[in-house]
Structure 1
């Protein structure tokens, strides 16, 4: 897990210096906040719209499947395309496509012609665009930000994501949908159009492909990314730990609504506030992790991102106090965001510039693809031992996670002189 030497990823910085990089990153940050706001609107409003079309639980769940399926089907080809194309232009174009999709859905709703096939198709298409956008953005950051500022940049992007996509968009989507069913999708279209305009002409360019590696087909390009991740002990262990974390937290939150209503006795509004605490913790972590990286130890941050959620999960599994649960949920959000910022910063620093898209997509698929397994395991634990069990078992798994992260911890610098 040796840091990548300055090369193709720093070509932009040589052209226009620190000021140009800062302006371009600011545009990316603004576009990210605006587009994530749009994501939050349609991800919240689509299930509400589905409920007006059909009461069938299976058909209802189909929209969720359509929204998440692109991460399994499209993420690897998306990573290969991101490494072939201008990454800033990819984000701008996909935002434009999302604007058109959201606008078309709004018109369909207003005309009264909405049906399940349309909902499934739009949900899947928006998910494909989001997959491509996030892959391109993660690969673009090292082209816009010097290595010493990656942690701060990633923290700001993650914080903007949570604030815009969760704290602001989710409650507003319900209000807008209650007023006019098509309104969240009209606003969604406007946000995507604005995000696309912000990135038009960004001029980041594509990462230079080494002359020694001739262009191959997309499947062969994907295979290169898979082999690179498999051969790097540090990144490989981060992917495995990410899979464990995602399994644990998905299993815990799969039945948390029942936990909150039955064991914490908070009601529907209280459940919403508890979930909001997770987002608040994530925002705080996004704002602080960059500074902590520069002034402290990246290795310590990585350990804290595992142990803080472990203590929090244990506390949630043992408590019946809504206030303590809210505080511990904030710590879960805090630790999860620290993990996200630290690990993406480490990956950006060591993955070769021309492989960023492919390796990042393989990493994401490996670590995030365990969500369905986590949901099933969480439900099985609840059925066999009660609502507290996923949290208690999850705490134990997270305490042991550093053992799985051993290669990564050995490769992570104790000081932040070189991320």
Structure 2
């Protein structure tokens, strides 16, 4: 059996994609760190900061299905290339305004909104381009490397960004370091746009233009009529709800109430979780044959183990205990993410991939705030131990229902040739 790593990095398209993608992902971390500092430098009102951050994510949730429809109408490469140049211009303007001291809150509101809108189109485009650029046999290894690289950037990027934002002898909230951060992100988009232009995509059949909302309706109908796809989307909706909320809300409460060090303990646990996810993604990509006979069976088994791990969270009283639990939880989640993502890219017809992947992301991202709100409300009547126990039991219940009453356990891996 050939080594997938060697085959993957011998593929010129993949080298261009990961080279530009890594730089762009690193640049994003600079903006994610610098933007809150900029806002807090302009206004100490937490409501203003919350509003700015909401403006960055709300357009993505609202327009991501529209973005998926346009990706399918045109091409993933064309849409992704356009969004990269748009982000280059927006972040370049923000860097210039910050460097000259001309930046104001209205400018921040407007530019953040525009950047968030661009991501509604870049997300589905980025998820749909891989099957057009690498052989089908390399899709899962490619996803493993790309997602693992993204996870590594999430771990290291904030540290590098923090060093740049506080560069020189000026205060951390000064325009110099912040402008450098925004400028670096803008430059990363320009370079990644150039690397993307070098990528050769497979020729696709010309399709007649279709109204955007009709195209979205068509993809919704297609996903609903596909029993396995419908089961997978529904299953992961429930998993995201019962796992995402406690991780986002209950874990910080646990750290604040019980763990010595508080925020430092939370940061250490989340870093370990990230390392676990990185390891799981790497294993899933480089060892795609480490699995059960079906994808659904693998997912159900992994989520059963995750549910059992979750049961112990409420009894954590030291950071090392939480880290010991989050490490395998992150690894299992990373492994499943790569496998499922790759299955979707192989299963969904190319002419509908942008819309269908956008729908999957819309479901997961749309549930995140609801899950967090539900976990916060539950903590008013339950303590942290009870919430983690309830979440674990719900997770195990979802696994049981999925195994008994849906086609989940019969969802097979798709073996592609070429």
* Match in the other structure for 2:3: none
Residue number among 208, 212, 217 corresponding to 2:211 in the alignment: 217
* Match in the other structure for 2:235: 241
Are residue 77 (structure 1) and residue 69 (structure 2) matched? no
State whether residues 27 and 198 of structure 1, in contact with CA within 8 Å, keep that contact through their aligned partners in structure 2.
Answer: yes
For residue 59 of structure 2, give the secondary structure of its aligned residue in structure 1: helix
State whether residues 87 and 204 of structure 1, in contact with CA within 8 Å, keep that contact through their aligned partners in structure 2.
Answer: no
Residue number among 82, 87, 90 corresponding to 1:93 in the alignment: 82
* Match in the other structure for 2:270: 275
> Does 274-283 or 90-99 show the bigger shift?
90-99
Residue number among 125, 132, 138 corresponding to 2:127 in the alignment: 138
How far the C-alpha of 1:304 sits from its partner, in A, is 3.8
* Match in the other structure for 2:325: 328
1:348–1:378: structure 2 CA closer, same or farther, 3 Å change rule? same
Residue number among 45, 50, 55 corresponding to 1:66 in the alignment: 55
* Match in the other structure for 1:11: none
How many residues are aligned here? 397
Instruction: Give the Cα separation in 2 of the matches to 1:142 and 1:220.
Output: 24
How far the C-alpha of 1:300 sits from its partner, in A, is 4.0
Are residue 362 (structure 1) and residue 359 (structure 2) matched? yes
Give the structure-2-normalised TM-score: 0.88
Instruction: Give the Cα separation in 2 of the matches to 1:47 and 1:204.
Output: 37
- Gaps (5+ residues) in structure 1? 1-17
State whether residues 13 and 134 of structure 2, in contact with CA within 8 Å, keep that contact through their aligned partners in structure 1.
Answer: no
How far the C-alpha of 1:236 sits from its partner, in A, is 1.3
Instruction: Give the Cα separation in 2 of the matches to 1:131 and 1:400.
Output: 33
Are residue 49 (structure 1) and residue 30 (structure 2) matched? no
1:324–1:168: structure 2 CA closer, same or farther, 3 Å change rule? same
Instruction: Give the Cα separation in 2 of the matches to 1:344 and 1:314.
Output: 27
Q: CA offsets per residue over residues 344-389 of structure 1, 9 Å max, x none?
A: 1121111111000011111221232111111111111112112334
How far the C-alpha of 1:205 sits from its partner, in A, is 5.3
How far the C-alpha of 1:329 sits from its partner, in A, is 1.6
Instruction: Give the Cα separation in 1 of the matches to 2:414 and 2:72.
Output: 28
Are residue 174 (structure 1) and residue 169 (structure 2) matched? no
Residue number among 226, 231, 239 corresponding to 1:232 in the alignment: 226
Instruction: Give the Cα separation in 2 of the matches to 1:260 and 1:207.
Output: 51
* Match in the other structure for 1:397: 394
Alignment of 1:14-53 (within 5 A): 22-53=11-42
State whether residues 123 and 358 of structure 2, in contact with CA within 8 Å, keep that contact through their aligned partners in structure 1.
Answer: no
1:362–1:19: structure 2 CA closer, same or farther, 3 Å change rule? closer
How far the C-alpha of 1:76 sits from its partner, in A, is 0.6
Are residue 259 (structure 1) and residue 254 (structure 2) matched? yes
How far the C-alpha of 1:20 sits from its partner, in A, is 11
Are residue 339 (structure 1) and residue 328 (structure 2) matched? no
* Match in the other structure for 2:170: none
* Match in the other structure for 2:192: 195
Instruction: Give the Cα separation in 2 of the matches to 1:318 and 1:137.
Output: 40
How far the C-alpha of 1:95 sits from its partner, in A, is 1.6
* Match in the other structure for 1:384: 381
1:276–1:376: structure 2 CA closer, same or farther, 3 Å change rule? same
State whether residues 256 and 263 of structure 2, in contact with CA within 8 Å, keep that contact through their aligned partners in structure 1.
Answer: yes
Q: CA offsets per residue over residues 164-183 of structure 1, 9 Å max, x none?
A: 2x112122222322232222
Alignment of 1:116-155 (within 5 A): 116-155=105-144
State whether residues 16 and 198 of structure 2, in contact with CA within 8 Å, keep that contact through their aligned partners in structure 1.
Answer: no
Instruction: Give the Cα separation in 2 of the matches to 1:51 and 1:206.
Output: 48
State whether residues 14 and 134 of structure 2, in contact with CA within 8 Å, keep that contact through their aligned partners in structure 1.
Answer: yes
